[in-house]
């Protein structure tokens, strides 16, 4: 069981590596000819890879004006790939994120008081491409380490021998998991407008739009994860005006990324997001590694989930309305990066008369030090707060994080970095604290 | 859009986020009544105020001080009901109350049993029915009505003993694995015949209280004991003036702890016990009402509730003395709101459907919210209450249909 996911990943990698030629064969005849010419020029003997890339095509993240259609949402990584004169291009890139960490919970049982290990290690691979004019695809897969607990055996327990099961005993095993972070096809008929369909993160918050490898900390903020977690399936229409000075999106998703609290729900999650960058383009990577001029980003996001809940017999039971909203502020200048978001959720239904209300906020900042040294440094800090179940019995949590990021290659800071982080979680309502430390190495390829 | 417009939009969004209004029920207003079954008897029925877990499952306990049995109904968050759990232990004590809830389960104390009920399935099991060490019966003499749900453990504090123990133990019950820890034996060592008259907890669950009596050297001792969430006794308050014949479960409902740390309870003989960490007394007051119980509102103030031609309520003073009683308008409004035809959702079986009840009354107490065990918080300023509908007779014994409905609750 443990190796099935790895085997599946290897098989998938082989398929993906072989996919660009297959895509080319599916095109019109004249394009196939052009492909052949391009292949002759590049002389690729095997499946093209980064080393065999004839023409790097992926635009650096710092040049948003030159974005191809595939950049409707920023890729996690950007590395060279292959291309030809017909405009077809692709890139294969990936990253490794070995991570060791520990968590100390003073109030836990002795067994659970100190937990440590490298179970959060993950690796990602991303393939992006433009097979035809205006069309693009993006596949981003993540293999996470020992991250998924699966039940491997179940046995009934009869403690008094009366023949009636009194309990159930389950054996579990922690296994690696393969996650589809993104699998989309984009169509961008004009520079200012495009649509994206597939699996992606809903652009509800600024942080949800930040690429996995460009996060300030190894993980997104606690409050952000309270309100929305993981990618979802759906479609998104994106409007970008005046070179990304104003970016707006409208989408519909199936809601599987939202917390599922009741069965047999039928509904779509509608999303809306507006981001204004009045001082110029401002990508969502969390940091100012370019040490550029002053940029400001203001944004707001909404999720609306009207759903019908059907009972076990298939008839309508109740109706749900779930509204989530967020507002964000970002600032970057000369290595300084600040980001703050406020989040709110209100969920009502026609049965319970008990609204589900939650509020959260966080602020984070980093400063990419302008030192003349063979390494780069950036202190990072984040404070977050969330209040859940406010309509019933509020449960409040305070998050305190701080650390430092080391860039061994400051000329290419994106490619290699080491993050050392302290993570504190204070459960204000339950009166419990947890302290964690994480050391993560990130290598892009 | 100008620069001002760009800046104004997120500011507006933040204002909406923070100040967005949420609709809760007004005092006396009720939500959708859910018909969950029939129970024995005629109103007021042997039912205890329901509890709800974080997932939204609701739990109803059929039982009372006088019945040596219990029956649980579980209303699932998305609809549908499960019933059948009837775990109870002992013939001399009845059902007490729901002691707390967690994300998707709740616990009740009935007789000498502490019972866990799962909201998703409706299944239940006795917690520590047997001592894991000796396999002898464990009897829960007193359970502090607060479940501490934390990332590391879900626990409560209780006093319990096996029949062979001369004195009970108190400690932390780890509700996950069903184990006890931080045990300490009841002191003083020469105490005999320890009984728990009532238990309570403060609003945050950080302070548990027990009113206990025992004999020592032939004399009856009555004490209020304060416990922390680790099961340790932090204060012992001598209580004077109590009837030495008061026995186990003499407190109607629960002891209530005010925001100032005053503990007050209504005893079965109509007197009021009150104490703080330094001491207290049992006092009989001349009242203009028939007292039913002591409640605590959201602000930590204590109230004596009762009946005097209608629901009345009186504030309790610094030493637990009742003030002037006034009509309890929230109770009156709730009673008025269910007059006439009431549309009730029957979601016991699918497909769910609505039915009309023509005569509806409070199933617990003479009036809504008038019970010894206090109404439990269901949502902000809202409790879950039980209403009685049509009844019929089986072999001469009345059976009454009962529904649960969220109702807006307020204290004067």
Length of chain B, in residues: 412
- Between A326-340, B6-20, B322-336, the lowest mean confidence (pLDDT) is in B6-20
- Between A80-94, A124-138, B314-328, B330-344, the lowest mean confidence (pLDDT) is in A80-94
Between chain A and chain B, how many beta carbons pairs sit less than 8 Å apart? 139
pLDDT at A68 over 50: no
* Chain B residues 139-168 with CB within 8 Å of chain A: 148-153
What per-residue confidence (pLDDT) applies to A33?
A: 37
Nearest to B13 among A105, A300, A357 (CB): A300
Residue B191's region, left for phi above 0, alpha for psi from -120 to 50, else beta, is beta
What per-residue confidence (pLDDT) applies to A22?
A: 32
Pairing between strand B105-110 and B95-101?
antiparallel
Is A317 in contact with B1 (Cβ distance < 8 A)? no
Q: What percent of chain B is modeled with pLDDT above 70?
A: 95
What is the distance in angstroms between the Cα of B82 and the nearest Cα belonging to chain A?
14
Measuring CA to CA, which residue among B330, B364, B198 is closest to residue B272? B198
pLDDT at B225 over 50: yes
* Chain B residues 335-394 with CB within 8 Å of chain A: 345, 347, 350-352, 377-380, 382
Is A311 in contact with B347 (Cβ distance < 8 A)? yes
pLDDT at A55 over 60: no
What per-residue confidence (pLDDT) applies to A77?
A: 60
CA-based nearest residue in chain B for residue A345: B17
pTM above 0.95, yes or no: no
What's the rounded mean pLDDT across residues B243-250? Answer: 84
Measuring CA to CA, which residue among B161, B218, B214, B162 is closest to residue B191? B214
Q: Which residue has the tokens 């003997």?
A: A45
Q: What percent of chain A is modeled with pLDDT above 90?
A: 53
Does the beta carbon of B120 lie under 8 angstroms from any beta carbon of chain A?
Answer: no
What per-residue confidence (pLDDT) applies to B206?
A: 83
Measuring CA to CA, which residue among A275, A382, A301, A388 is closest to residue A338? A382
Give the tens place of pLDDT for each residue, B307-351.
Answer: 999 999 999 999 999 999 999 999 999 999 999 999 999 999 888
Give the pLDDT band of residue A61 (cuts 50, 70, 90).
very low
Pairing between strand A99-104 and A114-117?
antiparallel
What's the rounded mean pLDDT across residues B300-310? Answer: 95
Give the pLDDT band of residue B55 (cuts 50, 70, 90).
very high
Give the pLDDT band of residue A159 (cuts 50, 70, 90).
low
Give the tens place of pLDDT for each residue, A430-444.
Answer: 889 999 999 999 999
Residues A126 and A93: beta-carbon distance below 8 Å: yes
What per-residue confidence (pLDDT) applies to A30?
A: 36
Nearest to A352 among B6, B56, B150 (CB): B56
**B22 interaction partners in chain A (CB closer than 8 Å):** 346, 355, 357, 391
- For B14, the 3-state DSSP assignment is helix
Give the pLDDT band of residue A149 (cuts 50, 70, 90).
confident
Q: For residues A146 and A403, which has the higher predicted lDDT (pLDDT)?
A: A403
**B52 interaction partners in chain A (CB closer than 8 Å):** 354, 392
Q: Which residue has the tokens 């209040």?
A: A387
Q: For residues B231 and B16, which has the higher predicted lDDT (pLDDT)?
A: B231
**B377 interaction partners in chain A (CB closer than 8 Å):** 392-393
Nearest to A311 among B9, B79, B406 (CB): B79
What's the rounded mean pLDDT across residues A28-50? Answer: 36
**B56 interaction partners in chain A (CB closer than 8 Å):** 261, 352, 354
CA-based nearest residue in chain B for residue A265: B78
What per-residue confidence (pLDDT) applies to A54?
A: 35
What per-residue confidence (pLDDT) applies to B395?
A: 87
What per-residue confidence (pLDDT) applies to B278?
A: 94
What per-residue confidence (pLDDT) applies to A193?
A: 95
**A167 interaction partners in chain B (CB closer than 8 Å):** 125
Give the tens place of pLDDT for each residue, A377-395.
Answer: 999 999 999 999 998 889 9
Give the pLDDT band of residue B292 (cuts 50, 70, 90).
very high
Mean pLDDT of chain A: 80
Test the B interface: residue of A352, A392, A396 with most B CBs within 10 Å: A352
Test the B interface: residue of A205, A222, A331, A354 with most B CBs within 10 Å: A354
Nearest to B78 among A263, A278, A342 (CB): A263
Q: What percent of chain B is modeled with pLDDT above 90?
A: 78
* Chain B residues 17-56 with CB within 8 Å of chain A: 17-18, 20, 22-25, 31-32, 34, 52, 54-56
pLDDT at A128 over 60: yes
What per-residue confidence (pLDDT) applies to A41?
A: 37
d(CA B378, CA B135): 38
Give the pLDDT band of residue A153 (cuts 50, 70, 90).
confident
**A260 interaction partners in chain B (CB closer than 8 Å):** none
Q: For residues B17 and A164, which has the higher predicted lDDT (pLDDT)?
A: A164
User: What is the token pair recorded at B97?
Assistant: 């109350």
d(CA A72, CA A128): 12
- Between A339-353, A361-375, A399-413, B376-390, the lowest mean confidence (pLDDT) is in A361-375
Give the tens place of pLDDT for each residue, A216-252.
Answer: 999 999 999 888 888 899 999 999 998 789 999 999 9
Mean pLDDT of chain B: 91
Dihedral, B135, B136, B142, B143 alpha carbons, nearest 10: 20
């Amino acid at each position: 069981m443990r190796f099935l996911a790895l085997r599946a990943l290897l098989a998938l990698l082989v398929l993906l590596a072989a996919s660009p030629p297959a895509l080319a064969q599916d095109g019109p005849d004249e394009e196939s000819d052009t492909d052949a010419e391009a292949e002759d020029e590049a002389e690729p003997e095997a499946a093209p890879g980064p080393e065999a890339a004839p023409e790097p095509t992926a635009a650096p993240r710092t040049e948003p004006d030159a974005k191809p259609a595939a950049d409707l949402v920023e890729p996690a990584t950007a590395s060279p790939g292959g291309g030809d004169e017909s405009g077809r291009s692709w890139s294969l890139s990936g990253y490794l994120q070995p991570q060791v960490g520990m968590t100390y919970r003073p109030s836990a049982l002795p067994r659970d008081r100190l937990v440590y290990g490298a179970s959060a290690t993950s690796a990602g691979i991303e393939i992006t491409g433009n097979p035809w004019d205006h069309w693009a695809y993006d596949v981003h897969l993540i293999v996470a380490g020992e991250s998924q607990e699966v039940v491997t055996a179940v046995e009934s327990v009869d403690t008094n021998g009366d023949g009636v099961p009194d309990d159930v005993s389950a054996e579990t095993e922690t296994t690696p998991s393969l996650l589809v972070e993104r699998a989309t096809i984009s169509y961008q008929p004009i520079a200012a407008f495009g649509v994206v369909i597939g699996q992606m993160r809903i652009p509800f918050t600024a942080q949800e739009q930040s690429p996995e490898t460009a996060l300030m900390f190894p993980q997104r903020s606690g409050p952000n994860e309270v309100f929305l977690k993981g990618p979802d399936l759906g479609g998104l229409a994106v409007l970008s005006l005046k070179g990304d000075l104003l970016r707006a999106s409208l989408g519909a998703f199936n809601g599987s990324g939202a917390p599922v609290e009741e069965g047999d729900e039928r509904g779509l999650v509608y999303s809306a997001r507006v981001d204004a960058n009045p001082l110029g383009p401002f990508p969502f990577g969390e940091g100012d590694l370019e040490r550029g001029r002053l940029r400001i980003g203001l944004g707001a996001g909404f999720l609306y989930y009207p759903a019908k809940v059907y009972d076990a017999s298939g008839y309508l039971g109740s109706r749900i309305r779930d509204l989530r909203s967020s507002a964000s502020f970002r600032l970057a200048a000369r290595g300084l990066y600040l980001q703050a978001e406020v989040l709110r959720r209100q969920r009502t239904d026609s049965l319970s008369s008990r609204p589900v209300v939650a509020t959260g906020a966080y602020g984070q900042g980093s400063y990419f030090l302008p030192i003349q040294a063979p390494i780069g440094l950036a202190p990072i800090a984040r404070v977050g707060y969330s209040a859940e179940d406010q309509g019933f019995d509020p449960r409040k949590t305070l998050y305190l994080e701080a650390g430092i990021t080391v860039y061994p290659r400051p000329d290419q800071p994106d490619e290699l970095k080491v993050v050392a982080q302290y993570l504190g979680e204070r459960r204000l309502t339950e009166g419990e604290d947890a302290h964690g430390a994480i050391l993560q190495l990130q290598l892009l390829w | 859009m100008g620069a001002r417009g760009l800046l104004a939009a997120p500011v507006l969004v933040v204002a909406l986020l923070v100040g967005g209004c949420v609709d809760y029920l007004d005092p006396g207003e009720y939500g959708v009544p859910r018909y969950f079954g029939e129970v024995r008897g005629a109103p007021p029925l042997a039912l205890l105020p329901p509890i709800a877990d974080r997932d939204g499952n609701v739990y109803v306990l059929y039982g009372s001080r006088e019945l040596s049995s219990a029956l649980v109904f579980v209303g699932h968050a998305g609809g549908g009901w499960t019933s059948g759990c009837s775990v109870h232990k002992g013939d001399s004590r009845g059902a007490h109350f729901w002691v707390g809830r967690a994300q998707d389960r709740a616990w009740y104390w009935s007789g000498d049993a502490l019972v866990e009920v799962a909201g998703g399935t409706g299944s239940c099991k006795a917690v520590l029915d047997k001592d894991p060490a000796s396999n002898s019966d464990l009897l829960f003499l007193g359970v502090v009505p607060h479940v501490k749900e934390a990332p590391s453990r879900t626990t409560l504090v209780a006093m319990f003993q096996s029949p062979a123990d001369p004195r009970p133990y108190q400690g932390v019950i780890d509700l996950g694995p069903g184990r006890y820890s931080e045990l300490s034996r009841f002191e003083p060592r020469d105490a005999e015949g320890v009984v728990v008259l009532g238990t309570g907890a403060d609003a945050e669950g950080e302070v548990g209280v027990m009113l206990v009596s025992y004999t020592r050297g032939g004399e009856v001792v009555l004490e209020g004991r304060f416990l922390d969430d680790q099961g340790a006794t932090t204060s012992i308050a001598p209580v004077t003036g109590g009837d030495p014949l008061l026995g186990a479960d003499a407190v109607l409902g629960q002891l209530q702890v005010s925001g100032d740390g005053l503990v007050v309870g209504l005893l079965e003989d109509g007197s009021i016990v009150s104490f703080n960490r330094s001491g207290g007394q049992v006092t009989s007051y001349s009242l203009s009402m028939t007292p039913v119980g002591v409640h605590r509102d959201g602000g930590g103030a204590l109230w004596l509730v009762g009946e005097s031609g209608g629901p009345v309520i009186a504030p309790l003073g610094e030493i637990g003395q009742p003030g002037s009683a006034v009509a309890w308008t929230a109770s009156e409004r709730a009673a008025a709101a269910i007059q006439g035809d009431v549309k009730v959702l029957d979601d016991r079986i699918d497909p769910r459907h609505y039915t009309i009840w023509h005569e509806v009354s409070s199933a617990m107490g003479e009036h809504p919210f008038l019970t010894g065990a206090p109404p439990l918080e269901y949502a902000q300023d809202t409790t879950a209450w039980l209403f009685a509908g049509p009844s019929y007779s089986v072999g001469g014994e009345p059976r009454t249909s009962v529904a649960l409905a969220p109702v807006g609750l307020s204290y004067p």
